[in-house]
Structure 1
Amino acid sequence: MATPYNQIVLLGDSLFQFASEIKEGFSFQGALQSHCMRYLDVINRGFSGYNTANTLKLVPQIFLPPSPSNPRIEYLLVLLGANDACIDIPTNNQRVPMEKYKENLIKIITHDHVKAHSPKILLITPPPLDEIRIEVLDLAKGHPQATRQAENSAKYCETAREVAAEIPGVTLIDLHKAIMDKAIALTPDFDASGLPLGYHGSKRGYLEQLLPDGLHMSGESYEILFDAVKPHIGPFLEEDTVFPDWKKMNAEA
């Protein structure tokens, strides 16, 4: 019987789907796989456009029961909410009300198919939103207004923080704060007494580099995410590799 590698699963929307790509010389999924090479496989289940309602429907198909021939999920990284936080307008139907978003997140991370694997769960807040850039692009696509608003998206991030605090054993990765802190630090003329970066009436500042289209992350942003996640994955010991080191194999030959 083949020996399976246990898994790290990335569950989310386009922010995880695009994590497999190389952006400005960096790939989040590639870096994570390198970090746990020969110990775990990184499996990407990020689906562009998905919200928590879409994802919840697929949980029984994504998470199969562990068995001798089916790998166990050791880590589950969940990054959902950017689409749930859309504004309810006729040209977009991705929105999930905040109360339902919270309910869906809880159902996903406490689902019986997930609990069967007993994974370490890292719940990641969505990144900040650059509404200034989003509006320009959305109007060009034919929407009557921006499909997302920075202040509303920030509230969904706060809801994700609440879920992480309420569910035992869940670790919060505050991506919203990490990216915004970096953007503020690299926007020298930012006035902290005014509106946050990316809000109407404020400025884009360094968010322009971190969120090129206002929503999706640059390579630099994915590096911020990796630096936040890495301390929670492992440590790995040489004797824990799925297959032995070549020196040990040769010594036994």
Structure 2
Amino acid sequence: MSTLTSTILSASLLIPGTTKQTNSPNNQLLFHKNDHYLNRIVTQKKRASFCVKALEHKVEEGVPSATIACPTVRPKFVLFGSSIVEYGFHEGWAATLAHLYGRQVDVVLRGYAGWNSRGGLRILDRIFPKHATQQPSLVIVYFGGNDATLPQEDGHGSHVPLKEYNENLRKILTHLRSLSKETRIIFLSTPPINEKQLFGDSPPKKLPKTNESHRIYSEEGLKVCKEMNITAIDLWSKVQERKDWKEVSFIDGIHLTNEGSKVVTREILKVLKEAKWKPSLYWKNMAIEFEELSDTPIGPGGKPVDPHTTRFPLGVEWD
């Protein structure tokens, strides 16, 4: 077996969009400009299998790639926020994203129920270190619902004054933007609440939070994003577009049901589909991991089926 040695950029410099070419007697190897995967190699003639071991800085020729354990670096989507994020994997929008991107992206949950923007700012450097070897391709960030809790007489609670919320959000978004030129950001504004479902027929004289306070914090978040040119989704308005939103959107008046989560999923996918980001982060446009190694299964009708063109069973709903 012959071994070709070549200077190869470290893994952290190869994702995404960088190219590196190595010549062999039979084929030219390259990292495709739009391919996120470190080890998905395109050959001009596909007559030989190669495996790039980036950490060892060498290319081995003549060894079937299926027999070599090569590390794969996937793009990473980080979901960062409070309970709307943390609970998103329970039949929610986060679970749907993880399902749709199952062969393309690692969807990472960093949700902290009960937290406000102060808490998010406090751990920002630990969750998103600036010198990490891999930065997220996308961060979906949400804080606001706990900030919007009305101030309590004893000073307890999660309330954050509107001015401070504005400042905290700016700091969070500025930090995320500094991670990488290719890190994209989507901000989710504060969704509405159903006060009757939350407080029942005998609400306290002074409500700890109101749908109006959520509107105010939603608008403040959208204002910050507009000024910073950050993509934002107006959840307060989008959830209420449905006439029966109060009946179907919430588990407890605050946290989203499956139906409520569908609004979040739909709006996120709409942004990803319509964005002019390069490379595209829309699930149907991204490369499938190890697609070139997949056999073609036979469907119930006896005809070949391409498993990469759908995300059964949830994919059909999001076409």
Q: TM-score, normalised by structure 1?
A: 0.77
Q: Is the 8 A contact 1:8 1:73 kept in 2?
A: yes
Matching residue of 1:10: 79
In structure 1, the gaps of 5 or more residues are: 187-205, 249-253
Matching residue of 2:264: 225
CA distance in 1, matches of 2:202, 2:116: 19
Amino acid at match of 1:98: L
Q: Which moved more, 1:75-84 or 1:125-134?
A: 125-134
Distance 1:117 1:17, change over 3 A: same
SS in 1 for 2:151: coil
Q: Is the 8 A contact 1:102 1:159 kept in 2?
A: yes
SS in 2 for 1:110: helix
Q: Is the 8 A contact 2:80 2:141 kept in 1?
A: yes
CA distance in 2, matches of 1:123, 1:8: 13
Q: Is the 8 A contact 2:130 2:178 kept in 1?
A: no
Give the alignment's Cα RMSD to 1 decimal.
Answer: 2.4
Deviations 1:91-139 (A, max 9, x none): 842000001101111100111x652233111111111122223333996
* 1:212 partnered with 2:272: no
More helix per residue? 1
Q: Is the 8 A contact 2:116 2:158 kept in 1?
A: yes
In structure 2, the gaps of 5 or more residues are: 1-54, 56-70, 273-280, 296-319
Amino acid at match of 1:235: Y
Cα deviation for residue 242 of structure 1 reads: 4.4
Deviations 1:152-182 (A, max 9, x none): 11100110110111112x1111111111111
CA distance in 2, matches of 1:117, 1:106: 17
CA distance in 2, matches of 1:238, 1:150: 38
* 1:53 partnered with 2:118: yes
CA distance in 1, matches of 2:214, 2:283: 36
Distance 1:11 1:238, change over 3 A: closer
Q: Is the 8 A contact 2:194 2:246 kept in 1?
A: yes
Q: Which moved more, 1:93-102 or 1:239-248?
A: 239-248
User: Bigger radius of gyration, 1 or 2?
Assistant: 2
CA distance in 2, matches of 1:242, 1:114: 27
Deviations 1:66-113 (A, max 9, x none): 55xx432011111110000001113842000001101111100111x6
Cα deviation for residue 29 of structure 1 reads: 1.7
Q: TM-score, normalised by structure 2?
A: 0.62
Amino acid at match of 1:20: F
